[in-house]
């Protein structure tokens, strides 16, 4: 089956990035969200981000116009049903994702492949609630989607080979690289990355170093482009905590226990860049460490 039409559920940071790269690659994209202002913001963000690519000479003005013309929006989730491929990119909460797939099921075309952009939740478990577990996969893009080259492909226990082959071909058409992961908590990237961030939070919590010293140490001592606490703010502290909880619950190993300070920041609503405060305060001209 040749995939031509793509439905994206969720117009946030990940969803609009996914719509962006698919439209540029020639796919017709239908973007869904529960709020019209979210859809409007997503289209403005996509337009602005593609314009940056035009300014750098990576995309022609004609290609931008064609890509923007391929993206349409809807508030009605069932409208995505006839799509060849659906990518769920909603918040990292399993009950939310389950509800989305439950609502979509009566409207799906026979050929539709279902995928989730989840960064940690069991693909096998999500697939088991649908009528097509063999056509269900994890399709995990990295943030920011237009820039990052990797896509994790995660097969559930029932995923068939043709579905995997189709999605691997899609990744190649997007100009990205696929990494195949087995369906274990947090897959590959976040199984390694998020515990590192959690350990950085413990290092702060235990007073080993300040926010600034921890981030400087990893940037200059390990040649990381971004410090772990700065990166946590970029990802979203609520997302980091959700992934740590998936690891802790799924693997039952105390080394994955979320740091209490990470939990406290999330309880305070200090989620990072998206809420203007996290390990840094972003409300001024330059970010200022909060500890």
- 16 included as an active-site residue: no
The answer to whether the annotation marks 119 as part of a ligand binding site is yes
The answer to whether the annotation marks 143 as part of a ligand binding site is yes
Backbone φ, ψ for residue 55 (5° rounding): -60, -30
Instruction: Check 38, 116, 120, 140 and give the catalytic one.
Output: 140
Q: Which two tokens stand for residue 198?
A: 């959690």
The answer to whether the annotation marks 92 as part of a ligand binding site is yes
Instruction: Check 116, 190, 198, 230 and give the catalytic one.
Output: 190
Q: DSSP string of 68-96?
A: HHHEEEES-GGGGTT-SEEEE---S-HHH
Cα angle 210-214-219, degrees, rounded to a multiple of 5 = 145
Q: Which two tokens stand for residue 242?
A: 């959700």
The answer to whether the annotation marks 10 as part of a ligand binding site is yes
Q: Which residue has the tokens 């035009």?
A: 54
Q: Which residue has the tokens 């289209």?
A: 43
Sign of CA dihedral 233, 236, 241, 244: negative
- 230 included as an active-site residue: no
Instruction: Check 88, 152, 166, 230 and give the catalytic one.
Output: 152
The answer to whether the annotation marks 249 as part of a ligand binding site is no
- 152 included as an active-site residue: yes
The answer to whether the annotation marks 94 as part of a ligand binding site is no
The answer to whether the annotation marks 178 as part of a ligand binding site is no
Number of alpha carbons in the 13 Å side-chain half-sphere of residue 39: 17
- 190 included as an active-site residue: yes
Cα angle 288-273-95, degrees, rounded to a multiple of 5 = 145
The answer to whether the annotation marks 128 as part of a ligand binding site is no
The answer to whether the annotation marks 12 as part of a ligand binding site is yes
Query: For residue 131, with 0-12 CB atoms within 10 Å meaning exposed, 13-18 middle and 19 or more buried, which class applies?
Result: exposed
Instruction: Check 16, 119, 122, 181 and give the catalytic one.
Output: 119
The answer to whether the annotation marks 33 as part of a ligand binding site is yes
Q: Cα separation of 22 and 242, whole Å?
A: 27
Show which residues are catalytic.
119, 140, 152, 190
Binding residues for NAD(+): 10-15, 33, 92, 97, 119, 143, 274
Binding residues: 10-15, 33, 92, 97, 119, 143, 274
């Amino acid at each position: 089956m040749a995939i031509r039409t793509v439905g994206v559920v969720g117009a946030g940071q990940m969803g609009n990035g996914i719509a962006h790269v698919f439209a540029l690659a020639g796919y017709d994209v239908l973007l869904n969200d529960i709020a019209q202002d979210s859809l409007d913001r997503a289209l403005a963000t996509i337009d602005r981000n593609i314009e940056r690519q035009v300014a750098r000479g990576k995309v022609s003005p004609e290609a931008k116009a064609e890509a923007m013309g391929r993206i349409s929006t809807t508030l009605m989730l069932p409208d995505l049903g006839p799509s060849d491929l659906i990518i769920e990119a909603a918040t990292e909460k399993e009950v939310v994702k389950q509800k989305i797939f439950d609502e979509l099921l009566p409207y799906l075309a026979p050929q539709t492949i279902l995928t989730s952009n989840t960064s940690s939740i069991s693909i096998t478990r999500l697939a088991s609630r649908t009528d097509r577990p063999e056509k269900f996969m994890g399709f995990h893009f990295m943030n920011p989607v237009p820039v990052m080259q990797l896509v994790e492909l995660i097969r559930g226990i029932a995923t068939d080979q043709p579905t995997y082959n189709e999605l691997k071909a899609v990744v190649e058409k997007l100009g990205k690289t696929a990494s195949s992961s087995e369906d274990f908590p947090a897959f590959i990237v976040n199984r390694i990355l998020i515990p590192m961030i959690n350990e950085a939070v413990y290092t702060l919590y235990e007073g080993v170093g300040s926010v600034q010293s921890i981030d400087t140490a990893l940037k200059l001592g390990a040649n990381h482009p971004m410090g772990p606490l700065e990166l946590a703010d970029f990802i979203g502290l609520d997302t980091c905590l959700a992934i740590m909880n998936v690891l802790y619950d799924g693997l039952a190993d105390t080394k994955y226990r979320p740091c209490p300070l990470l939990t406290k920041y999330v309880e305070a609503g200090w989620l990072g860049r998206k809420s203007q405060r996290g390990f840094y305060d972003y409300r001024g001209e330059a970010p200022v460490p909060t500890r």
